[in-house]
Amino acid sequence: MRIAVDAMGGDYAPQEIVAGALLARAQLGVEIVLVGDAQAVARELRKLNAAQLVEIIDAPEQVRMDEEPTAVRRKRKSSIVITMDLVKQGKADAAVAAGNTGAAMAAALLQIGRLGGIDRPAIGALLPTLKLGKRVLLLDAGANTDCRARFLEQFALMGALYSRYALGVERPQVGLLNIGEERGKGNETVAEAYELIHKNPNIPFAGNCEGRDVMTGQFDVVVCDGFVGNILLKFAEGVGLVALQILKEELPRGFTGKIGTAVMQDNLRQVKQRMDYAAYGGGLLLGINGVCIIAHGSSKAEGILSAIRLAKEAVDNRVLERILQQSGSN
């Protein structure tokens, strides 16, 4: 298996991306193609004594974290566009990049295009839950602001198949994000989507999911339109910051507070890391005619390794073929 990796995306490119790609090569046995500034990438490889181990494809341009998705149309020689193109041309089995998820989606649509049977590709985001180590796949996290009920049904199907065959959840529970548990709740589109998802035999539907249930761990997949999903995802980041701020203000208060804070620095660091919901970012591009995994912009080598592992699982377990089959059967 060959994975194309955009070496230039995210906060720690190219150093950590290259390191992560090499980890994946060693641990997962995949072939890696690194796409980016050839000189910079070669330099990183030499530092790690790995100059001959992976192929480099030069990309003279980059799409920055803060650029609009439309930037990919002007920057046809950017690393993200060329990475997607390798998948399109069959020269790679999957694409992995870090950073600008919107731009990655735009590049994937431009070069690879939609999967048959899927009207609108969606961004899947992984959020932490109350259950340690368990994550929930929220989609659409921002690709489609206006959605029809049928799109939501397709999101539910894609989410279920990715959860099962890429994330390894044996029996994924799919929830529809809504304002009440009962059937018939919600705005017009969501109420209609409930009926479509309920009737679809390929979707393991567990009913409506209220806002407070998104992170309990009782759902594996939560479906919503990209407007709500994007707001929720960014709101989670904001709430995480508020929680950290409360800790900063309250814990060192008073004499015992200062002592307590001093002795438990390690514990607090761990808390901080887990509460920084922003760090859980990144996403899966679902409904593209190729496997595309986007790691969070702040990913270091381990984050890139995880993203490549996810891509490998999706390819190994033929997620795209399963979506094609099951979305066609409606």
Question: DSSP label at 318?
Answer: T
195/184 Cα distance (integer angstroms):
9
Give residues 204-233 in contact with a second copy (rule: CB under 8 A): 210-216, 224-228, 230-233
Give yes or no for residue 274 binding a second copy (CB under 8 A). Answer: yes
SS3 label, residue 233: helix
β-partners of residue 2 are 31
Radius of gyration of the chain (CA): 20
Give yes or no for residue 236 binding a second copy (CB under 8 A). Answer: yes
Give yes or no for residue 184 binding a second copy (CB under 8 A). Answer: no
Give yes or no for residue 275 binding a second copy (CB under 8 A). Answer: yes
7/301 Cα distance (integer angstroms):
11
**Residue 142 in contact with residue 229, Cβ under 8 Å?**
yes
Cα–Cα distances in Å, from 310 out to 5, 206, 246, 259, 278?
13, 25, 35, 43, 19
Q: Minimum distance between the CB of residue 229 and a second copy, rounded to whole angstroms?
A: 9
Report which secondary-structure segment, H or E, holds 221: strand 221-223
* Complex with a second copy: residue 56 or 221, whichever CB lies closer: 221
**Exactly one of 26, 73, 89, 146 binds a second copy (CB under 8 A); which one?**
146
* Complex with a second copy: residue 48 or 264, whichever CB lies closer: 264
**Exactly one of 10, 99, 124, 186 binds a second copy (CB under 8 A); which one?**
186
Give residues 101-130 in contact with a second copy (rule: CB under 8 A): 128-130
**Exactly one of 110, 241, 279, 324 binds a second copy (CB under 8 A); which one?**
241
312/21 Cα distance (integer angstroms):
12
3/21 Cα distance (integer angstroms):
9
Q: Minimum distance between the CB of residue 234 and a second copy, rounded to whole angstroms?
A: 3
Give yes or no for residue 70 binding a second copy (CB under 8 A). Answer: no
Contact footprint for a second copy (CB under 8 A): 128-130, 132, 142, 145-146, 177-179, 186-188, 190, 210-216, 224-228, 230-243, 245-247, 249-254, 256-257, 259-261, 263-264, 266-268, 270-271, 274-275, 277
